[in-house]
């Protein structure tokens, strides 16, 4: 049988390929693989949402610069973010860890302090998990469980032609925070110099301690808006826009000048000679919400603080394009993921 290298398929190709080996037959499976959460039958009015993520030392985090408390907070928040990405309410987490003997009990308590802080901010209970030893570094696997009203669930697949595309917060900061951390780690390894982190607080915090956008979900609810589609930005705006377009069988047009990038990010980008737009499109780990709303909701959605309209949904035949400041149309590409 032909043996295929993982690099040939990439993450999404691999998931699609593995999915072919599975079959879903339960009537209670409303939506399986392919969205931010699985959607399961709960009761007459609600669905249960389930999402899981695995964080590996050396791949997703580096203990040289990730304090364990921050790491716990981030691990919980990134899972909770997937529940919000379905317009849901997170309720429970299970937390599984694999640890080597190099960790003390107190160090792991720090990890759990961070998990608890994230949970208490979002009204979530940790209800279980698993503990194992590890010979390959720390692994943290978290499953988030939540619920959503059937009438409010937001899939990646619901975008309609002419819908407005919105994103919360600003983009690219987490990636630039990571650049600073990697640079300072390198300088420390080479010269033993103390890391210079002052002045970079915003981007560092965005990388080390991201916030799931509970506030945006609450604001949308208050405004009476149910997004037609939604996803959280974990791999980068470009990749997530393509997910929304592919699954909704639509195209999109987003405008460079409308993409929110903070002044802090622009400053750090200059230092690294990185184009801010590239950090915003492909940086990832921002955990902002990208969603679409009917055009008629424009006047309501624009009043929500930190929501930015960046473009609109078009017919599939128009493709997924970015309109540059110069008016040039550039095809969006997914570059978010390069692990294998």
Of positions 57, 170, 232, 297, contacts Mg ion by CB under 5 A: 232
Is residue 289 within 8 A of residue 221, CB to CB? The reply is: no
The reply to whether 235 sits near Mg ion by the rule CB under 5 A is no
Smallest separation (angstroms) from Mg ion to the CB of 202: 23
Smallest separation (angstroms) from ligand ADP to the CB of 73: 17
3-state secondary structure 254-308: EEHHHCCCCHHHHHHHHHHCCCHHHHHHHCCCCCCEEEEECHHHHHHHCCCCCEE
Residue with nearest beta carbon to Mg ion: 36
Tokens of 153: 């669930």
For the chain, the maximum distance between any two Cα atoms, rounded to a whole number of angstroms, is 63
The reply to whether 15 sits near ligand ADP by the rule CB under 6 A is yes
Candidate ranges 34-42, 134-142, 177-185, 214-222; the one touching ligand ADP (CB under 6 A): 34-42
Strands 89-99 and 125-133, by their bridges, are parallel
Of positions 6, 18, 64, 263, contacts ligand ADP by CB under 6 A: 18
Place of tokens 């390929």: 17
Q: Which is nearer to ligand ADP, 18 or 330 (CB)?
A: 18
Smallest separation (angstroms) from ligand ADP to the CB of 81: 8
Per-residue contact track with Mg ion, 119 to 158, x per CB under 5 A? ----------------------------------------
Tokens of 332: 């969006």
Q: Which is nearer to Mg ion, 166 or 269 (CB)?
A: 166
18 binds, among ligand ADP, Mg ion, none (CB under 5 to 8 A by kind): ligand ADP
Q: Which residues contact 175 (CB under 8 A, 6 or more apart)?
A: 207, 279, 282, 283, 284, 285
Q: Which residues contact 295 (CB under 8 A, 6 or more apart)?
A: 162, 163, 164, 312
Place of tokens 């390069």: 338
Q: Give the end-to-end CA distance of the chain in Å, rounded to a whole number.
A: 21
Cβ atoms within 10 Å, residue 109: 12
The reply to whether 240 sits near Mg ion by the rule CB under 5 A is no
Q: Coil, strand or helix: which one is 21?
A: coil
53 binds, among ligand ADP, Mg ion, none (CB under 5 to 8 A by kind): ligand ADP
Q: 212 to 271, contacts with ligand ADP by CB under 6 A?
A: 234
Q: Coil, strand or helix: which one is 197?
A: coil
Judged by CB under 6 A, the number of residues near ligand ADP is 9
Per-residue contact track with ligand ADP, 50 to 89, x per CB under 6 A? ---x----------------------------x-------
What one-character DSSP code corresponds to residue 241?
A: H
The reply to whether 36 sits near Mg ion by the rule CB under 5 A is yes
Percent helix / strand / coil, the chain, rounded to 5: 40, 25, 35
Q: Contact positions toward ligand ADP, by CB under 6 A?
A: 15, 18, 33-36, 53, 82, 234
Q: Contact positions toward Mg ion, by CB under 5 A?
A: 36, 82, 232
């Amino acid at each position: 049988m032909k043996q295929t290298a993982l690099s040939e398929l990439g993450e999404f190709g691999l998931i699609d390929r593995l999915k072919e080996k599975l079959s879903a037959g339960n009537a209670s499976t409303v939506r399986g693989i392919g969205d931010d959460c699985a959607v399961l039958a709960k009761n007459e009015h609600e669905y249960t949402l389930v999402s899981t993520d695995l964080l590996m030392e050396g791949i997703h985090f580096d203990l040289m610069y990730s304090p364990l408390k921050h790491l716990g907070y981030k691990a919980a928040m990134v899972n909770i973010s997937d529940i919000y990405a379905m317009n849901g309410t997170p309720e429970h987490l299970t937390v599984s860890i694999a640890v080597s003997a190099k960790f003390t009990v107190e160090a792991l308590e720090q990890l759990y302090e961070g998990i608890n802080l994230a949970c208490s901010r979002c009204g979530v209970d940790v209800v279980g998990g698993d503990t194992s030893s590890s010979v390959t570094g720390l692994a943290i696997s978290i499953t988030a469980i939540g619920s959503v009203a059937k009438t409010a669930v937001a899939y990646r697949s619901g975008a309609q032609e002419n819908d407005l595309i919105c994103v919360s917060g600003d983009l690219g900061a987490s990636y630039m925070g990571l650049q600073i951390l990697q640079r300072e780690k390198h300088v420390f390894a080479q010269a033993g110099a103390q890391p210079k982190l002052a002045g970079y607080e915003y981007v560092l915090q965005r990388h080390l301690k991201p916030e799931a956008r509970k506030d945006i979900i609450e604001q949308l609810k208050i405004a009476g808006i149910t997004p037609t589609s939604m996803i959280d930005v974990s791999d980068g705006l470009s990749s997530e826009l393509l997910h929304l377009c592919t699954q909704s069988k639509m195209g999109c047009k987003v405008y460079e000048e409308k993409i929110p990038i903070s002044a802090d990010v622009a400053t750090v980008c200059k230092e690294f000679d990185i184009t801010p737009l590239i950090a915003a499109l492909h940086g990832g780990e921002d955990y902002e919400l990208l969603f679409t709303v009917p055009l008629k909701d424009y006047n309501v959605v624009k009043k929500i603080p930190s929501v930015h309209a960046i473009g609109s949904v078009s017919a599939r035949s128009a493709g997924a394009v970015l309109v540059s400041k110069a008016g040039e149309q550039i095809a969006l590409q997914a570059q978010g993921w390069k692990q294998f």
